[in-house]
Chain A
Amino acid sequence: MREPFLWVEYRVASKLEYLGECCLVITVGEALIRCLEKEGVELVFGYPGGAILPVYDALYNAKKIKHVLVRHEQGAVHAANGYARATGRVGVCFATSGPGATNLVSGIATAYMDSIPVVLFTGQVPTSQVGTDAFQEVDITGITMPITKHNFLVKEPATVPAVVKKAFYLARSGRPGPVLIDLPRDVSSAVIRFSYPEKVELKGYKPTYRGHPTQIAQAAKLIAKANRPVILAGGGVVSSGATPELVKLAETIAAPVACTLMGLGGFPGDHPFFLGMAGLHGTRYANLAITNADLLIGLGVRFADRVTGSPARFAPHAQIIHVDIDPAEIGKNVKPYLPIVGDVKQVLEALLPQVVKREGGEWLETIAGYKRDFPLTYNREEGFKPQYVIERLSSLTGGESIVVTDVGQHQMWVAQYYCFKYPRTLVTSGGLGCMGYGLPAAIGVKLGRPEKQVLLVSGDGSFQMMMPELGTLVEQGLDVKIFILNNRRLGMVRQLQEFYCDKRYSAVDFGFCPDFAALAGVYGIAGYTVETAAQFDGVVEDALAREGPVLVNCLIDPGENVLPMVLAGRGLDEAVS
């Protein structure tokens, strides 16, 4: 590193400590730790380096904050994401400048796409060197502008506490999301008079939580008139904690409920009104219900392309009520008949007293018919099927576990076949579909909810992306049960090639795949390999019951596809199954 680091000066400064109650003179690094303590942060995931030394030096004395040293910065942000999703709190990450910061990028985009509250601190080269292409300098605020809710490059040391306060407020309020604070090294080693602001001032940021009363009244009227209502519940139901209100609404108006991938768990999977997941790999009955509905109530959804199929053919007979906290989501993909901007929970609280009880009658019978005629199913006769694995896990855990997934076919099988009973029990990368999310996210989940059983369902491809985080898992002594649905290939891409590229399988088969069970052994994790349903049945209970982490390498039928599947450009009712 080129510039001499002013250790001495900074060391001396940190000894200044108290000059009376109201004026604590400390370094920005130390101030930062105090800010985190004030925000109630107990856990930080990170990876150090030169530019963030002052922060790590301050961390050395921190008593209330535990730091988890990961193996890759992407692991840190995914872990913070998993922690945030499982607990509803803000996840926190530290990384150094340059490569540390760029390693965060996929993780930041993952959190952004799924609206997960994460606050990230990156080191930066000293302000005097910013813009000179200094060693390990990257413009991380520039890079992350489109994938953060907001970011800050702090140049004025005294503003750090206020910036941290803003960052936490922004991350968790309104539509949550990641917020990044870039701290040049001279800033984090500067000495300031510390005080943590009580209030945040953000003139341009006023999220709307309460829905407009006239629109809510109109929603009640539309509901009263509807004959075939369907509710589509998204991630907003989970993040706003609106499950009890949603159940009440569904039961009062006798409306079946479909969930998006992000919404799974937001409505109990064992409820008779539950339709499962809607969309490209959704259940036929969820998609048929949406297609034939005359009223579609979208709650905390963004009508993403994975859910709508061809937007022109989406819910063609329905008046759409769209409730979301982000005004920009309304009308973006699907034009609603009635928009309501607000927090799903608060909107439902206001709506519920106004809705009149409806009898399900014919519509519920029609839905029952869809379920009977187009069930979610697979070939149970031959081979070791991935769906079977998920079904077994679902029944053995009774839906009481938190399930973390990676990205690919296995993720869709989890979404289809695991019965999620409670919010925050499915932790998966929805919007970005970021392979490698699973293992580090599971680490964050287990650290956040140690009392819960945590399952990770991964794929052989995804698992290898963040495999080094096994080290973190073991070091932290985390009891995560890992199931790899190993088809020896990038199954989801292969499936796409089967349908769209005339079975020209290009770069989807691994020429080499490690023996995952043996690999687990290297890390001191109990490993199993199973090739048949019978073998699986023989070990699964033991694997779930034993103390500590286990890895079950399931050599599933590699030819299995995720069905149903709505092909590109098709309507939801035209799925291949």
Chain B
Amino acid sequence: MRHTLAVLVENNPGVLARVAGLFRRRGFNIESLTVGETEDPAVSRMTIVVEGDDRVLEQVTKQLRKLIEVLKVQDITKEEHVDRELVLVKVNAEPARRAEIIQIVEIFRAHIVDIGRKTLIVEVTGDEGKVRALVNALEPFGIRELVRTGKVAMLRGTKDIATNSKEAE
């Protein structure tokens, strides 16, 4: 099963290498990992999507918590949360077929962010389902390039992933 982890880390050089190294060394599979500064510049937040059964996930979270620079690890898969990913897709777009593409883009509430002589770049933000559907719809035109940020996620409502401390086992 796929799990989404929200991980707060100290914003130090090398911390990404520690986290990535841990996954590699212990044979955990990262599907995506995003990282960026939070409201507190001393703290970065990672959203890690990882594949594994409960036992693997227990090890992943415990091993992550063991890293000195990791402040908090929370598996938010089963909690109410919002997740988003931003994807840029460069599609073939001969002038004759552009209208069709623009229509699809509108339906998905995506954006066209670049127009070339023979190409368009489409920007879409959304959850996995939406991104997949749009990519499928654009496929017939010929996708030249695709780049995605990886997932970011946040709990809904007043539940926060706060920086106070690592929760005790």
Contact = CB atoms under 8 A, between A and B. Distances in A.
Interface in B143-169: 163, 165-166, 168-169
Given A206-B165, A327-B62, A327-B169, A145 B17 contact: yes
Interface stretch (B30-38, B68-76, B95-103, B111-119): B68-76
Given A203-B163, A204-B68, A328-B62, 15 more contacts: A146-B21, A149-B68, A150-B68, A153-B13, A204-B10, A204-B71, A205-B68, A206-B168, A208-B168, A208-B169, A327-B62, A330-B62, A330-B169, A331-B55, A331-B58
A203 B14 contact: no
B160 to A, nearest CB: 16
A76 B55 CA distance: 39
Contacts of B14: 141, 153
A341 B67 CA distance: 17
A332 B62 CA distance: 10
Interface string A307-336: 000000000000000000011101110000
A158 to B, nearest CB: 16
Categorize the interface residue count of chain A.
20 to 34
Nearest to A175: B66
A353 interface: no
A327 B65 contact: yes
B67 to A, nearest CB: 7
Interface string A205-219: 110100000000000
Contacts of B78: none
A204 B69 contact: yes
A146 B70 CA distance: 15
A202 interface: yes
22 contacts: A145-B17, A145-B18, A145-B21, A146-B22, A149-B68, A150-B69, A153-B13, A153-B14, A170-B68, A203-B71, A204-B9, A204-B68, A204-B69, A204-B166, A206-B165, A206-B166, A208-B168, A328-B66, A330-B169, A331-B55, A332-B59, A339-B169
A142 interface: yes
Contacts of A202: 68
Contacts of A141: 14
A332 B59 CA distance: 7
A142 B68 contact: no
A577 B10 CA distance: 53
Max chain B C-beta neighbours (<10 A), residue from A141, A153, A204:
A204
A341 B168 CA distance: 9
A278 B10 CA distance: 41
